[in-house]
Structure 1
Amino acid sequence: MADDAGLEIQLCSERFGSGAARGCRAVADGSLQWEAEERRWFSGAFTVKPRGRNGGGGGTPGTASLPLSGLQAVFLPQGFPDSVSPDYLSYQLWDSVQAFASSLSGSLATQAVLLGIGVGNAKASVSAATATWLVKDSTGMLGRIVFAWWKGSQLDCNAKQWRLFADILNDMAMFLEITAPIYPICFTLIICTSNLAKCIVSVAGGATRAALTMHQARRNNMADVAAKDSSQETLVNLAGLLVSLLMLPLVSHWPSVTLGCFFLLTALHIYANYRAVRAIVMETLNEGRLRLVLEHFLQRGEVLSPTSANQMEPLWTGFWPFLSLSLGVPLHHLVSSVLELQQLTEGHQEPYLLHWDQSRNQVKVVLSQTAGPETVLRAATHGLLLRALQGDGPLPGVLEELRNQVRAGPKKDSWAIVKETHHVLDKLFPKFLKGLQDAGWKTEKHHLEVDEWRATWLPSPEKKVL
């Protein structure tokens, strides 16, 4: 179809993913002609310029269309970039750099271990080498089980911190392997220690990788994102293997050169890991991010965006807890009498009970059976608010008065302060929660560390005593 002036009319259009749309026009003879698209690397599809018209009369094809760029189809999730988080590309680029550096360092470490076991030494005993290898592996297996039991529940809450910790520990393990042949008497002990560290790395690294993959997948495509991440890592390791084949013959007879290369690669590895982890923008709150956002809110009355809070979040606190805040503790740890239970439950109707130990600056929270994500978030906010009373940052008027009472001696009763902060939160928390949601935080879920204890209690236990 064409108008009276003989101009082409656009009848429809189409696009692949987030690529540029192209239109279909009717020309004078009634055939259809598709517009050509500019070929771009990260567009979902690209086309080349049309060679003819495609219409109802059996005309020649209008375009030669390719659904995906070859490398993009192999190494990036389907629907990229819309199917993944905005931080996906920057993280994966730095992650590839660190994987390449780690692959080269691993080659140097493997060479040192084989040398220490006796490969190439005619006097070396096969049985002794086998026994050393078995002891090394068994030590690592036990360490993997113990570490998963000890710290497994914290890996989701502080995925970025544990990810960085795992990579630094891996560098330390490889350093031990490189230095092991220098001390043949302690060789077995050194490589067992190294393998123990590497097994911890495998648990922490694998678990945090899964947590980050879940964050990156935005279309219920976690399996696709994980599979493409594996493909990227395989390609990088293959490149590292080829470079290692060229590098090892040059440095194998020079221990000082080997160590120099290792330290350079380790520096690159740690820097790339830091940049990769810093590029991640988590939209859920853990204790560290909640603390930063709450402090900013109390001081300036506004909520930090996820991007800003993630840039400020400390990355070196994964192994030891940064805050003395315990959520989901058992009720019998806090109360031993009716009076203490009355003090905990009096004056508020929230489905959690909070105890504050001023001397140790510890906050323990008992959660009700009905406590949901919003209740847990309020309880954590309450605990951090109490800790802020012992800090030095500016606070709103009512909280500043409470701080002065806390600092005055003798100390005001902790139960009374907890009760007063409950009333403060009744007004403060709804504004804070709305600010979180408006700023882009996901408040329907969280990454706060919560134990499994839940409790029920009567609203007024003192009446039952009477």
Structure 2
Amino acid sequence: MRRGGGAVLATERYGSAQSWKYLEKDGMIERTRDGREGETRSNSVVGVFKSVFLPQGYPDSVSDDYLQYQFWDTLQAFSSSLSGTLATQASLKGVGVGNQEATVAAATATWLLRDGTGMLGRILFAWQKGTKLDSEAKKWRLFADVLNDIAMFMEILAPYFPTCFTLIVCTAGIFKSIVGVAGGATRAALTVHQARRDNMADISAKDGSQETLVNLAGLLVSLILIPLVTDNAVLTLSLFFLFTILHLFANYKAVRSVVMETFNEARLSIVLQQYLKDKRILSPIEANQKEPVFLEFGKTAPIKLGVRLQDVVQSQEELNLALKENNMPYLLGIRNGCVCVCLGPEASVRNEIRAVCQAVWLSNMLSHPTSREPICAPMQQTKGLWKMVHESFKLMDANFDPFLKGVEAAGWDIKRTLLDWDEWRVEWKTKSS
């Protein structure tokens, strides 16, 4: 094959952005780039920018939602940087910067108390909610940013309440420590999702470069803002609310743009309910659009996964009821309004998905008892609850296999999950055995 006067000996490309060809010319091999010369010059600048701020191999090395997420994440980081400047100025004013009567010792003590309470808050939050940050990364990511804005608002107001200044800044310090844990952990979870070539370190490093560039831009703008807002409470609050609205909007758009292909409880519930309704399997994009991104409390009966055996059954009779209609390596039970799942050590990912499907169905039945009168009429009685459990096994026997094939065909990753399992694993025996 000849092109441009020479035979094409080979072609090569760098990712999906650049392509080159090797031509035979006068007995020598000449390497030229495909595309017009003007495009080459313009693309050189873009190429340098990409190599500095985007992961190697972009866009093939990242998830499809990467660019949209990073755009909104950059916008929220910029607005947060400006809000942080206003909060920092207020905090410095509160500890006595510019006040001749303030002492270094008092300011240092206030700062140390704020940092100390923040450290304790960080430890306690990681202990209580650390396992939730993987399975509900979107919710906790948005929660962290809302809490961060609340903390900065408290720091801005603190100088106007001198008698409570230390208490306010310490509380804000606790909030910011929680933000640090939740924000950092959920960012790591999102990086795992975005990394399509096991390039989490590269994506994380380039994300840091992007954030540094944004903070630098925010610093330059802050140098202009500081002289304007000094001793002007109305302008300070007005700008803070403006930046906060922009920050929260950008964060909402950022988490909404993320399309995860792995199941957590919310996404599995959305896909399962749609399937049971009309046999239609939602794609990852459709399910992620319906997934709630705000923390919800008490809307459905809670589900506890990987619990102890005594959380499911407390007698031989209950164990026999739990094993009735059940040939799976897990047990389900309803206790104190919660759906509890006890997992066996040999359970596979497929078994875990099926168990959560049953738990989700039971949770919906408990939350909406009027939708199934024959089953839910004796719901407060033990036999009625076990009847629901037995029906859930029959429902899964009839629907789970085609459901699982459908979700895999729709693009869901069923080799791993983000379901929030605890670590208890139980081997049970029937009375006869």
CA contact (8 A) 2:300 2:367 kept: no
Name whichever structure is richer in helix by fraction: 2
Between the aligned partners of 2:230 and 2:362, the Cα distance in structure 1 is: 58
Report the counterpart of residue 386 of structure 1 in structure 2: 362
Matched, 1:18 2:12: no
Matched, 1:436 2:407: yes
Report the counterpart of residue 463 of structure 1 in structure 2: 432
Which of the numbers 157, 162, 182 marks the counterpart of 2:135? 157
CA contact (8 A) 1:390 1:406 kept: no
Identical-residue share of aligned pairs (%): 50
Which of the numbers 237, 247, 251 marks the counterpart of 1:273? 251
The alpha carbon displacement at 1:326 in A equals: 0.8
Residue identity opposite 2:374 in structure 1: Q
The alpha carbon displacement at 1:453 in A equals: 0.7
The change in CA–CA distance for 1:242 and 1:155 in structure 2 (over 3 A counts) is: same
The alpha carbon displacement at 1:452 in A equals: 0.7
The alpha carbon displacement at 1:343 in A equals: 1.1
State the secondary structure of the residue aligned to 1:23.
Answer: strand
Which of the numbers 198, 201, 212 marks the counterpart of 2:179? 201
The alpha carbon displacement at 1:419 in A equals: 1.8
Larger radius of gyration: 1
Report the counterpart of residue 375 of structure 2 in structure 1: 406
State the secondary structure of the residue aligned to 1:69.
Answer: helix
The alpha carbon displacement at 1:442 in A equals: 0.7
Which of the numbers 355, 359, 376 marks the counterpart of 2:333? 355
Report the counterpart of residue 33 of structure 2 in structure 1: 36
Between the aligned partners of 1:210 and 1:318, the Cα distance in structure 2 is: 23
The alpha carbon displacement at 1:386 in A equals: 2.0
Between the aligned partners of 1:197 and 1:296, the Cα distance in structure 2 is: 38
Root-mean-square deviation over aligned CA pairs: 2.6
In the TM superposition, what whole-angstrom CA distance separates every residue of 1:321-376 from its partner, at most 9, and x where no partner exists?
9651111010022222211111111232100000035xx54211100011122111
Residue identity opposite 2:127 in structure 1: W
CA contact (8 A) 2:274 2:280 kept: yes
Report the counterpart of residue 52 of structure 1 in structure 2: none
Between the aligned partners of 1:109 and 1:208, the Cα distance in structure 2 is: 24
CA contact (8 A) 1:352 1:368 kept: yes
Report the counterpart of residue 66 of structure 2 in structure 1: 88
Report the counterpart of residue 272 of structure 2 in structure 1: 294
Residue identity opposite 1:365 in structure 2: V
Residue identity opposite 1:444 in structure 2: K
The change in CA–CA distance for 1:321 and 1:131 in structure 2 (over 3 A counts) is: farther
Q: Which runs of 5+ in 1 are unaligned?
A: 50-64, 395-399
State the secondary structure of the residue aligned to 2:357.
Answer: helix
State the secondary structure of the residue aligned to 1:156.
Answer: helix
Residue identity opposite 1:10 in structure 2: V
TM-score (norm 1): 0.87
The alpha carbon displacement at 1:68 in A equals: 8.1
In the TM superposition, what whole-angstrom CA distance separates every residue of 1:46-86 from its partner, at most 9, and x where no partner exists?
8469xxxxxxxxxxxxxxx9698211111111111111111
Report the counterpart of residue 394 of structure 2 in structure 1: 423
In the TM superposition, what whole-angstrom CA distance separates every residue of 1:243-292 from its partner, at most 9, and x where no partner exists?
10111101112110000000000000000101111111111111111111
Number of residue equivalences:
431
Report the counterpart of residue 264 of structure 1 in structure 2: 242
The change in CA–CA distance for 1:301 and 1:124 in structure 2 (over 3 A counts) is: same
The change in CA–CA distance for 1:336 and 1:408 in structure 2 (over 3 A counts) is: closer
Report the counterpart of residue 223 of structure 1 in structure 2: 201
The alpha carbon displacement at 1:379 in A equals: 0.4
Report the counterpart of residue 448 of structure 1 in structure 2: 419
Moved more, 123-132 or 222-231: 123-132
In the TM superposition, what whole-angstrom CA distance separates every residue of 1:99-152 from its partner, at most 9, and x where no partner exists?
010000000000001101100111111111111111111111111111110111
Q: How does 1:308-387 map to 2 (within 5 A)?
A: 308-317=286-295, 324-357=302-335, 361-387=337-363
State the secondary structure of the residue aligned to 2:58.
Answer: coil
The change in CA–CA distance for 1:9 and 1:319 in structure 2 (over 3 A counts) is: farther
Between the aligned partners of 2:200 and 2:298, the Cα distance in structure 1 is: 29
Report the counterpart of residue 9 of structure 1 in structure 2: 7
Report the counterpart of residue 54 of structure 1 in structure 2: none
State the secondary structure of the residue aligned to 1:21.
Answer: strand
State the secondary structure of the residue aligned to 1:389.
Answer: helix
Q: How does 1:50-199 map to 2 (within 5 A)?
A: 69-199=47-177
State the secondary structure of the residue aligned to 2:14.
Answer: coil
Matched, 1:212 2:190: yes
Between the aligned partners of 1:320 and 1:201, the Cα distance in structure 2 is: 24
CA contact (8 A) 1:306 1:441 kept: yes
The alpha carbon displacement at 1:39 in A equals: 7.3
Between the aligned partners of 2:198 and 2:12, the Cα distance in structure 1 is: 24
Between the aligned partners of 2:408 and 2:115, the Cα distance in structure 1 is: 48
State the secondary structure of the residue aligned to 1:96.
Answer: helix
CA contact (8 A) 2:258 2:288 kept: yes
Moved more, 438-447 or 65-74: 65-74
Between the aligned partners of 2:337 and 2:271, the Cα distance in structure 1 is: 20
The alpha carbon displacement at 1:174 in A equals: 0.2
CA contact (8 A) 1:169 1:201 kept: yes
The alpha carbon displacement at 1:407 in A equals: 3.8
The change in CA–CA distance for 1:416 and 1:182 in structure 2 (over 3 A counts) is: same
The change in CA–CA distance for 1:155 and 1:175 in structure 2 (over 3 A counts) is: same
CA contact (8 A) 2:378 2:384 kept: no
